[in-house]
Structure 1
Amino acid sequence: MLPVTVRARRAGKRFLLLDNMLLELGFSVVFPLMSVHFVEHLGWPAVIVGISLAIWQFIQSGTSILGGAIADRFGVRPMLVLGMLLRAAGFGLMAYADRAWILMLACALAAIGGMLFSPCRAALVIKLVRPRERGRFFSILMVEDSAFRVLGALLGTWLLLNYDFQRVCFAGMVMFILSAGWNAWKLPDYKLSSVRAPVAAGIARAFKDKRFRRYVMILTGYYTLNVQVMLMLPLAVKAMSGTTEAVGWMYAIGAVMALVLLYPLARWSECHFRLEQRLMFGLGLMALSLMLVGYVDTLMVLFTLVICFYLGSLIAEPARETLSAELADFRARGSYVGFSRMGAAVGGALGYSGGGWLFDIGTHSATPALPWLILGAIGLLTLLALFMQFRKHPTPMADLSSL
């Protein structure tokens, strides 16, 4: 018979994979279609939707260190269940958003829910998966994310075209309610960290880690680019194609690429490159792809650049997630995972609000390439900062001899 710890790890990993399906499906039904619905269908300025998404991103990621520290102190299950119910309430309110302040409030409510459950789930991966297996497990989760992301986007598109945006929001709300029930019923009451330190102590430990703090802040630029797959790229595809279905196909392409390439790429690259090398190469490809979007005039070329952007993300994202886990202190896993979201908070807020603002400026001033050039420049500056960060202290190559 297998040892108890081995059986617990395997059961925990199976639970995470099943739970992740519901979460990704519920999120992807609603989120990718927000910019299309409010900007293209209702005619709102893109900057309003951008600010709403920035509120979401900043609250969820900027306060994740608090959610992680609370989970370090009190355990995982209460935070997960409460967070998922708040996310469901946010989607329910979004169904009735006919004014900007209602949309912003709905995004804030959904974000508070994410602040509670997101760092808990990431810290559970660090707890339940051995270090040498984390890169591959993160890759499996991302393959699953991609599969259910396209299912969610296609379901949301079908609901939007055949019914209305309210049905889209209700579908997302139901998924998160089901996930909350699943966690309340089946999830053991795990403790994330090796010590039960006060909430403030875990937060302080993460803030005082100079190397980790610098790495998190550098990732601001990475997230500024990464969030454009939810804002500017869908708007560009919709504007050039003239149809909402093309946005669904854009996400379908990303999902197929992830299903086919993500795990093999991760397996191959971890044998030949260090984590930071993989992150930098992927980021460079993302930056160059965005820089060229403003100069295309056919949908085929635009989709080619989208494919290049997705490829860069497939290379960079597993490395970024694994690198964040490797740099985390086991004495405060939740706090470290929460603090690692700070780059996503700042970068996502800048990417959404700044991207929406730049998109409006580019449209009204007949300079469509301007937003994309600025995004590309941000990516290249981030690339330089990452190089400087790891030049003197590179990470070791993965030890795969025991696998």
Structure 2
Amino acid sequence: MVKPLLLLSNQFIFMMGFYMVVPFLAAFMRDDLALESVAIGLVLGIRTFSQQGLFIVGGAFADRLGPRRLILLGCAVRVIGFVVLGVSRDFATVLLGACLTGFAGALFSPAISSLAASVGEARSRQGKETRAHFFARMAVWGELGAIVGPLAGALLLGIGFQAMALGGAAVFAAAYVVLHTYLPRTSPSEAPSRDNQWWRVFSDRLFIAFTLAHSGFLFSYNQLYFALPVEIRRAGGSDADLAPLFMLASLMVVTLQMPVTRRVSTISWSRSLFFGFALMALAFLAVAACAAFPAPAGPLRLVPAAMLVVLLILGQMTVRPVAMDMVPRFANGRSTATYYGALASAGGLAVLVGNVLLGPSLEHALAPGPGAALPWIALASVPAVCSLAIIPIVRRLALRSGA
């Protein structure tokens, strides 16, 4: 059995390396490469789709070959992707690096989620904590890495984005060494499964409906990388303001994730997911209410951006552990990596399509004006619709599983 501490520390390392680079990618493309918003949205959308959108590929291979191989391969591919970003000088190269970086996540993330579900289930049988609580602890350790990541990236900001990317590559190279040394070569959860065809996931109509509704979660959360920099520019801020806002998000998860998870565990799945999606919709509406007006001077100019971060993170903390805990119930005894992969793939496709469609409209949100609120209202409509759609889906799952 995989030791819980190995998964938790691995989550810390992965998130640290990720947040050293990706939050600064949009600013690098805009300022250093002089790309327009449509091109930036395309790169960010494809990066997300090549990760979340291809999760089902990584999940299927993890169920067939075992998580260990996919995790190590994903580490190696991400090292290559960050190196490519570090030497990029044009749109084509940065797009290639972003694709490699995302595909690496598609290889290792479903495998890690599958191992985490297995460890969480074992700890639940031992009476130590529920599976949802273990996923929440994974989130806390990941956000501890996300605190260190932006700080390290900000320290390298004066040297340049290339230094950030190469530093991220070094972090994942170190992670590869640690995992190759300590990740067990065989475990019950790593046993290859050959009697669970990956396409069976598409025969579960209820799970497909759940992935479609859940895709609004990933799309909304992704706006921390796409839409948040737009609001900062509208308010007269700079790229340097990104780091403290991402650190705020990480500190919220570290201090509040476990209390939030304990609280939502006392209410039904449908209520907790509805409330989480509603918080995300409120995050965009809060910015919409301020977008038409000039920003005040001083630190107050960043209040709408901070509200966006706070409400999105509160929604994320509410939705994610519950959704991750529900996936094995859909799998119903079958291997879970493919199910986790399909869940993320739907979200990745939503991010790609949504960013490309919303890219031109976000240009209107760069400066205060009558039309500046419209893109934010459009963003708010996505989690609002999902909050309503998720209720009958979750209720049917509860009836089907006898929960």
TM-score by length of structure 1 reads 0.89
Question: In structure 2, what is the Cα distance between the partners aligned to 1:331 and 1:377?
Answer: 35
**One-letter amino acid of the counterpart of residue 316, structure 2:** S
- How far residue 43 of structure 1 moved from its aligned partner, in angstroms, is 3.1
- Give the match for residue 202 of structure 2: 207
- How far residue 90 of structure 1 moved from its aligned partner, in angstroms, is 0.6
Q: Does 1:166 align with 2:162?
A: yes
- How far residue 137 of structure 1 moved from its aligned partner, in angstroms, is 0.7
- How far residue 179 of structure 1 moved from its aligned partner, in angstroms, is 1.0
- How far residue 19 of structure 1 moved from its aligned partner, in angstroms, is 1.0
Question: In structure 2, what is the Cα distance between the partners aligned to 1:264 and 1:209?
Answer: 33
User: What is the aligned counterpart of 1:139 among 123, 129, 136?
Assistant: 136
- How far residue 130 of structure 1 moved from its aligned partner, in angstroms, is 1.3
Question: In structure 2, what is the Cα distance between the partners aligned to 1:238 and 1:395?
Answer: 48
Residues 115-165 of structure 1: CA distance to partner in whole angstroms, max 9, x if unpaired? 1111100011112221742111111111112221121011112201x2111
Question: In structure 1, what is the Cα distance between the partners aligned to 2:259 and 2:38?
Answer: 38
Q: Indicate how the Cα distance of structure 1 residues 62 and 304 shifts in structure 2: closer, same or farther if over 3 A, else same.
A: closer
- Could you tell me whether the CA contact under 8 Å between 2:217 and 2:316 is conserved in 1? no
Q: Does 1:291 align with 2:285?
A: yes
Question: In structure 1, what is the Cα distance between the partners aligned to 2:174 and 2:346?
Answer: 30
Question: In structure 1, what is the Cα distance between the partners aligned to 2:194 and 2:372?
Answer: 52
- How far residue 362 of structure 1 moved from its aligned partner, in angstroms, is 4.0
User: What is the aligned counterpart of 2:247 among 246, 252, 260?
Assistant: 252
Q: Does 1:64 align with 2:52?
A: no
How many pairs align? Answer: 386
Question: In structure 2, what is the Cα distance between the partners aligned to 1:60 and 1:220?
Answer: 14
- Give the match for residue 340 of structure 1: 343
- Give the match for residue 375 of structure 1: 379
Question: In structure 1, what is the Cα distance between the partners aligned to 2:121 and 2:31?
Answer: 46
Q: Does 1:385 align with 2:389?
A: yes
- How far residue 299 of structure 1 moved from its aligned partner, in angstroms, is 2.1
Residues 280-311 of structure 1: CA distance to partner in whole angstroms, max 9, x if unpaired? 10110111211231332332244234322222
Structure 2 alignment gaps of length 5 or more: 125-129, 296-300
- How far residue 330 of structure 1 moved from its aligned partner, in angstroms, is 2.8
**One-letter amino acid of the counterpart of residue 382, structure 2:** I
**One-letter amino acid of the counterpart of residue 289, structure 2:** Y
- Could you tell me whether the CA contact under 8 Å between 2:75 and 2:172 is conserved in 1? yes
Question: In structure 2, what is the Cα distance between the partners aligned to 1:50 and 1:30?
Answer: 16
- Could you tell me whether the CA contact under 8 Å between 2:140 and 2:257 is conserved in 1? yes
Question: In structure 2, what is the Cα distance between the partners aligned to 1:164 and 1:43?
Answer: 15
Q: Indicate how the Cα distance of structure 1 residues 245 and 325 shifts in structure 2: closer, same or farther if over 3 A, else same.
A: farther
Question: In structure 2, what is the Cα distance between the partners aligned to 1:12 and 1:205?
Answer: 30
Q: Indicate how the Cα distance of structure 1 residues 149 and 354 shifts in structure 2: closer, same or farther if over 3 A, else same.
A: farther
- Give the match for residue 181 of structure 1: 177
User: What is the aligned counterpart of 2:274 among 270, 280, 303?
Assistant: 280
SS in 2 for 1:332: coil
User: What is the aligned counterpart of 2:98 among 97, 107, 116?
Assistant: 107
Aligned-residue RMSD, C-alpha: 2.4
Q: Does 1:263 align with 2:287?
A: no
User: What is the aligned counterpart of 2:83 among 88, 92, 109?
Assistant: 92
- How far residue 360 of structure 1 moved from its aligned partner, in angstroms, is 2.2
- Could you tell me whether the CA contact under 8 Å between 1:71 and 1:192 is conserved in 2? no
- Could you tell me whether the CA contact under 8 Å between 1:276 and 1:319 is conserved in 2? no
Alignment map for 1:328-367 (pairs within 5 Å): 328-363=331-366, 367=371
Question: In structure 1, what is the Cα distance between the partners aligned to 2:289 and 2:27?
Answer: 22
- Could you tell me whether the CA contact under 8 Å between 1:35 and 1:231 is conserved in 2? yes
Q: Indicate how the Cα distance of structure 1 residues 96 and 197 shifts in structure 2: closer, same or farther if over 3 A, else same.
A: same
- Could you tell me whether the CA contact under 8 Å between 1:225 and 1:286 is conserved in 2? yes
Q: Does 1:79 align with 2:70?
A: yes
Q: Indicate how the Cα distance of structure 1 residues 73 and 388 shifts in structure 2: closer, same or farther if over 3 A, else same.
A: same
User: What is the aligned counterpart of 2:35 among 41, 44, 54?
Assistant: 44
- How far residue 261 of structure 1 moved from its aligned partner, in angstroms, is 1.1
**One-letter amino acid of the counterpart of residue 185, structure 1:** T
- How far residue 391 of structure 1 moved from its aligned partner, in angstroms, is 4.3
Question: In structure 2, what is the Cα distance between the partners aligned to 1:78 and 1:305?
Answer: 38
Q: Does 1:235 align with 2:230?
A: yes
**One-letter amino acid of the counterpart of residue 212, structure 1:** F
Q: Indicate how the Cα distance of structure 1 residues 233 and 396 shifts in structure 2: closer, same or farther if over 3 A, else same.
A: farther
Question: In structure 1, what is the Cα distance between the partners aligned to 2:273 and 2:49?
Answer: 23
Structure 1 alignment gaps of length 5 or more: 1-7
**One-letter amino acid of the counterpart of residue 29, structure 1:** M
Q: Indicate how the Cα distance of structure 1 residues 49 and 193 shifts in structure 2: closer, same or farther if over 3 A, else same.
A: same
Q: Indicate how the Cα distance of structure 1 residues 94 and 159 shifts in structure 2: closer, same or farther if over 3 A, else same.
A: same
**One-letter amino acid of the counterpart of residue 135, structure 1:** A
- How far residue 324 of structure 1 moved from its aligned partner, in angstroms, is 2.4
Question: In structure 1, what is the Cα distance between the partners aligned to 2:189 and 2:200?
Answer: 15
Q: Indicate how the Cα distance of structure 1 residues 326 and 243 shifts in structure 2: closer, same or farther if over 3 A, else same.
A: same
Question: In structure 1, what is the Cα distance between the partners aligned to 2:82 and 2:402?
Answer: 41
TM-score by length of structure 2 reads 0.89
Question: In structure 2, what is the Cα distance between the partners aligned to 1:364 and 1:48?
Answer: 19
